Amino acid sequence: MVFESTRRKGMKVDEELGRDLVDEWNSDDEENQAKTIGENEDETESEATGSSPSQSDNAMDIPWPQSYRQSMDMFTSVTPPSISFLRGPSLTGVSSFLSTAYKRPQPQPLERDSSLSKPLISEDPTTPPVKLSASTYSKLSISGLPPPQEQCSFSQSVINGINILCGIGLLTTPYAIKEGGWLSLIFLVIFAVFCCYTGVLLKECLESSPGLKTYPDIGQAAFGLAGRLGIAIFLYVELYASCVEYIIMMSDNLASLFPDTYISLAGIHLESHQVFAITSTLIVLPTVWLKNLSLLSYLSGGGVVASILVALCLLWVGVVDQVGFHPSGTALDLTNLSVTIGIFGFSYAGHSVFPNIYSSMKEPSRFPSVLIVSFIFCFIMCTGVAICGFLMFGDSIESQFTLNMPSEYLASKIAVWTMVVNPLTKYALTLTPITMSIEELLPQAQLRSYSVVLLIRTILVFSTLAVALTVPFFAIVMALIGSLLAMLIALIFPCACYLKLLRGKLTKLKIASCMLVISVGLVCACVGTYSSITRLAGKIA
């Protein structure tokens, strides 16, 4: 009876602490109260742990990255807009708007100590995969993120799926035909089928064990902590590379609008592309400082509208503005086919968010239908844009078809500005999962420091600028991402995890289909990565 009473008290303190952490800590008194509650919670939870070892085990289920699920939920959030910034002690000048100490609610002290102080990779290869407890996720509260969307309808889930798939890869599909020829569109069909299939496999993996919610969870359940760490790192690298592509895309489109822009200062000469790359970075930097990303998450949902608008502008220029369609091109170019494969692979790599869409659905059983509808829509969009764009501009097609659209037409201006504004809403959302995963590794004192958190985010933003200035080749960088990262994330890892988690329960046909997808993914990854790196090295040299 004593232990039961203690456990109930602990639950009550837990609820009070959760409410306190949501509010801003605006005064020293409030901060002291929060600390007092936290200390009481530690003592109570410690007593409860002594009487119930299983609770302690569940608290230690989630290693790094703990923030992955909530940070990726931003891509499926339709939370009403709200703006606030990271805040530190009152400063003068530019940072005077940062008025109070930056605080971020942390996981329970027991969870943080038990997960981050342990080795990320188990030293004992015989250790069985860690099973994740769903109750543990409810204890994680990451400030600055929209609340996770629950009970999404079928139509909302489809919109989320389309928003993830119809991204910047749409701009490069006409260039992909130029590189690979008309018959390369067969790979657009193949990758659509394969990626949709592996998306369904992720659903089966999530259902194979209770508590699995994210892609890294699946990797951990299948291959232990090494699997979780490996998948998480590849996903974060892909997000980082996408941020680099955003900078390149914004600078290219702005340079097409203002081609005569340049800066010469102290012997340093910057061309229009470099000027607008720096300008774009300075514009997106404050969005990374935002503490509450609800507004950006809300606006990024307009990615579907932006993709449709740009496609309609392309069609308008071809038909109404009488640019016309001029059949040209080769049937198949094996020499450059690897670039096409990488671009098409990039266009369908939304698997990092698929588990989040599944977990938020009111009817999870309809997730395969969501994927089918989303992939069909994306395939129609990509195919239509690829065919129209290449017929309009032929072999002169640029890496982004918006760069070929005559600037004197209104439709062209709308398309270009859409491709400038759209990344502004997505850059911070894409980079935030990376920043929060890094912040998890910081000591508690540094994590509570406004200046440290701000410095990390600023350094990451300028590092993407440095990469974008070093390799300002939009299509080649996309082909490299698609060949290396997308093949691993969208084709190889889902099949490998599926075979491991459901071994002994699969038919020979399912095993054969997974082996086929893995084989195709490995071949495309090896050939495409080598080709992209070679071309990239040649461009830089």
Tens digit of each residue's pLDDT (9 = 90 or more) over 279-289: 999 999 998 88
DSSP-assigned states of every residue in 470-535: H---HHHHHHHIIIIIIIIIIIIHHHHHHHHHTTTS--HHHHHHHHHHHHHHHHHHHHHHHHHHHH
Q: Over the Cα atoms of the chain, what is R_g?
A: 24
Length of the chain: 541
What's the distance, CA 462 to chain centroid? 19
Give CA–CA dist 75/350, Å, rounded. Answer: 11
pLDDT tens per residue across span 102-132: 334 344 333 433 333 343 334 344 444 444 4
Q: Which two tokens stand for residue 486?
A: 């997308």
Tell me which of 202 and 129 has the higher pLDDT: 202
Confidence of residue 446 (pLDDT cuts 50, 70, 90): low
Give CA–CA dist 197/490, Å, rounded. Answer: 10
Helix (H, G, I), strand (E, B) or coil at 152: strand
Q: What percent of the chain has pLDDT over 90?
A: 43
Position 342 scores a pLDDT of 93
- Please count the other Cβ atoms lying within 10 Å of the Cβ belonging to residue 10: 20
Contact between residue 483 and residue 347 where contact means Cβ atoms under 8 Å apart: no
CATH 1.20.1740.10 fits domain 154-538: yes
Give CA–CA dist 313/308, Å, rounded. Answer: 9
Once rounded to an integer, what is the mean pLDDT over residues 347-361?
88
Position 209 scores a pLDDT of 85
DSSP-assigned states of every residue in 328-340: ---S--SSSHHHH
Q: Which two tokens stand for residue 252?
A: 């290219």
Q: Which two tokens stand for residue 470?
A: 């070093």
Bridge partner residues of 264 (DSSP)? 269
Give CA–CA dist 310/409, Å, rounded. Answer: 13
Bridge partner residues of 265 (DSSP)? 268
Given CA atoms 387, 393, 399, 405 in this order, what sign does their dihedral have? negative
Amino acid making up residue 20: D
pLDDT at 53 over 60: no
Position 407 scores a pLDDT of 87
Distances (CA, A) of 504 to 18, 90, 127, 500, 514: 43, 61, 20, 9, 14
Tell me which of 294 and 138 has the higher pLDDT: 294
Tell me which of 151 and 507 has the higher pLDDT: 507
Give CA–CA dist 284/247, Å, rounded. Answer: 9
Give CA–CA dist 456/439, Å, rounded. Answer: 8
Position 132 scores a pLDDT of 45
Highest mean pLDDT among 108-112, 241-245, 258-262, 321-325: 241-245
pLDDT tens per residue across span 141-183: 344 444 444 578 888 888 888 888 888 889 999 999 999 999 9
Position 232 scores a pLDDT of 92
Closest Cα to residue 478, out of 532, 433, 520? 532
Domain parsing of the chain, residue ranges: 154-538
Position 103 scores a pLDDT of 39
What's the distance, CA 407 to chain centroid? 32
Under the phi-then-psi rule, with left for phi > 0, alpha for psi from -120 to 50, and beta for the rest, what region is 496? alpha
Q: Calculate the average pLDDT of the chain.
A: 77
Contact between residue 251 and residue 468 where contact means Cβ atoms under 8 Å apart: yes
Distances (CA, A) of 485 to 351, 429, 522: 11, 19, 11
Q: What percent of the chain has pLDDT over 70?
A: 72
pTM (2 decimals)?
0.76
pLDDT at 432 over 70: yes
